[in-house]
Amino acid sequence: MLPAIFLSFAILYTTHANSLDELCTTNKFTKEAGHYKHPTDCDKFVQCHWELNRLVADVRPCSFPTLWNTDLLTCGSVDVTTCNNDRCKSLPDGIFFGGHNNCRGFWECEGGKSQPKCCPLGQRFDKTDGCIDTINEDDECKDSCMGIVYESKNDTTNNTKVCEKEAIPKQPGFYRFFQLGWGFRDLPCPPGTNFDQDACDCITATEPAKKAECKPEIHLTFTDNQTTSNGHFLDAENVMIKEGVAEFNGIDSRLSIPRFNNIEHSKSLVIRMTYNSTQEVSQYPQVILSNSGCGILPSVRISENADNVMFEVGTTRHFMVSTSVKQPSNVEKTVELKFANGVLMGSVNSETSAIAADGFLRNVHCTLNIGYDQKLTPFKGVINELSVYLCDPEQH
């Protein structure tokens, strides 16, 4: 038998910032894990997470050429993002500084604003001298910059083709390119063609284009001490793992997934989970999953009482829509909340209920929490498996 493990996940590969920990408990989302504006740098953000029963801060960079967008709670194009702390506000034109994780990208001050720029092919950015020539092949910068992808077409002569388009893995009928004012955009090829990177164009398809596979953003089986799932970080407090299940005490256990504090922009959301409730049956509902926690009515919630399992979503056209399924007689439940094609569907084992729910998910900048909701009884029981999709697996 495996020993029980109490989880207190820490975020990996970030710079811990003790001086910023106070932000996590004094911002308007008090005591809530999630993403927040950096106090000084536009191209960084602060991620608050639980560590040893307290909220701490980690500083993470936005990838070049994006800045932190507070309205969207993600890094966004400079054309749609306003930053009051822009370092160029008080600097003369021509001052430059490097972009994160891009050897050709840099920011240059123009008219009091930071503007993204790229060093030309064969050069790299130097924080002192700006764009400089690469010395040898080992020093060569091959990063794409603002959608411009460089591919060597002849290793002998080092001829290079400049392509403004980029192939999308597992989506041959689409290509990606960077358009000023829009950022990166995915566009379809004409019917009967697929995108070919060598040709830098859509060419006649040798076989019909296939839809991209719908894979879960998060998939948890609780078989090991996970701190991430598909690259997304997890925060847990007082959750016990043993023998492939996550156990919640019904008092102060919660598992938070900061990845989903911006899911209001989605038209598709599917949540599947298998769990056992050990809470004493009551007419007062206990929460299973919710993005409540920052003083706003949630836009996604699964809860249950003695009679029913309830499924709720809030959309841009309906503040809150709900449907329910009668509690099964057996203890273990496999449930699914599906919001897709303008319909909310809830299912428990083999029983299903549905209701119309058109529009996008309502704007709620809160972390997705398992076992916690501000208004409901905390979840008591065990969860065997959890998957979250931002697409409909049955349509792919």
Summary mean pLDDT of the chain? 79
pLDDT computed for residue 335 by the predictor: 97
The vertex-205 CA angle with 151 and 189, nearest 5°, equals 70
The token pair that represents 337 in the structure block: 């909340």
What's the pLDDT tens digit per position in 54-104? 778 888 888 788 888 877 677 777 777 888 889 898 899 999 998 887 888
Q: What is the pLDDT of residue 21?
A: 74
Q: Averaged over 145-156, what is the pLDDT?
A: 55
What pLDDT does residue 341 have?
A: 85
> Strands 308-313, 321-326: parallel, antiparallel or unpaired by DSSP?
antiparallel
Query: Does residue 93 contact residue 82 with C-beta atoms inside 8 Å?
Result: no
Average pLDDT, stretch 180-189?
A: 64
Q: What is the largest CA-CA distance in the chain?
A: 76
Least confident of 138-152, 207-221, 263-277, 287-301: 138-152
- Look at residue 108 in the predicted model and tell me its pLDDT: 92
pLDDT grade for 204, boundaries at 50, 70 and 90 = confident
Is residue 50 pLDDT above 80, yes or no? no
**Structure confidence at residue 146 as a pLDDT band (50, 70, 90):** confident
Q: Using the predicted structure, report yes or no on whether residue 339 has a pLDDT greater than 90.
A: yes
Indicate the pLDDT class of residue 271, thresholds 50, 70 and 90. Answer: very high
CATH architecture of 218-395: Sandwich (2.60)
**Least trusted range by pLDDT, from 151-165, 198-212, 329-343:** 151-165
According to the model, what pLDDT value does residue 374 have?
Answer: 85
**Total Cβ atoms within 10 A of residue 63:** 12
Q: Give the start-to-end residue ranges of the domains of the chain.
A: 119-204, 218-395
